[in-house]
Amino acid sequence: MWINPEGRKEDLGAYVSEREGANFWLSVLTDLQNRGLDDILIVACTDNLRGFSEAIASVYLKAEVQSCIVEQIRNSLKYVACKDQKEFMRDLKRVYRADTKDLAQMELETLADKWETKYSIVIASWQNNWEKLTTYFQYAAPIRKHIYTTNAWRAITGRFAR
């Protein structure tokens, strides 16, 4: 899926495979390129599938990659006790919904101060993946909502020759 320059979503194709791996996605990206998708000019969102970001970069040199916030949250909550999840999520929302990357960084530090002793693995995951999780902060809020999740694979403002 992509969003064209007029702001409308369009499907680029449907692909099926028994396994979703980096090689599969490389074949999809190569097919899109062969069909005329010249470049991904803003962001491709991934779910941290090993090799996927590299596959994107090998076909679309200018593409920026954003790790899926929704996947990061899901993975984080696996390690947070049920009794803490509501409060933890309230604190975590301040991180990924911040207005700027700097504010998000400050909120992450606040989150760490409060929860790191109890959920060090979760906090470390956010800290270790910070650059891949915060690409979308360089864009305006209306664009961010399209590029922070892989709920539909998105190439924003790509050029597609028809």
**Side chain identity at residue 140, one-letter code:** A
* Residue 115 contacts residue 124 (beta carbons within 8 Å): no
CB 39, CB 155: distance < 8 Å: no
The contacts of residue 136 (CB under 8 Å, 6+ apart) are: 43, 66, 69, 143, 144, 147, 148
For residues 140 and 137, give the distance between their C-alpha atoms in angstroms, rounded to a whole number. Answer: 7
Tell which residue, 115, 45, 55, has the closest CA to residue 80: 115
Q: What is the pLDDT of residue 106?
A: 98
pLDDT per position as a tens digit, 48-98: 677 877 888 888 888 888 888 888 999 999 999 999 999 999 999 999 999
Beta-carbon count within 10 A of 97 CB: 14
Please state the pTM of the whole predicted model. Answer: 0.72
Provide the pLDDT for residue 93. Answer: 96
**Per-residue model confidence as pLDDT tens digits over 80-90:** 999 999 999 99
Taking alpha carbons only, the member of 84, 74, 138, 136 closest to residue 114 is 84
pLDDT tens-digit series, residues 123-145:
999 999 999 899 889 888 877 77
> pLDDT digits over 101-127, tens only?
999 999 999 999 999 999 999 999 999
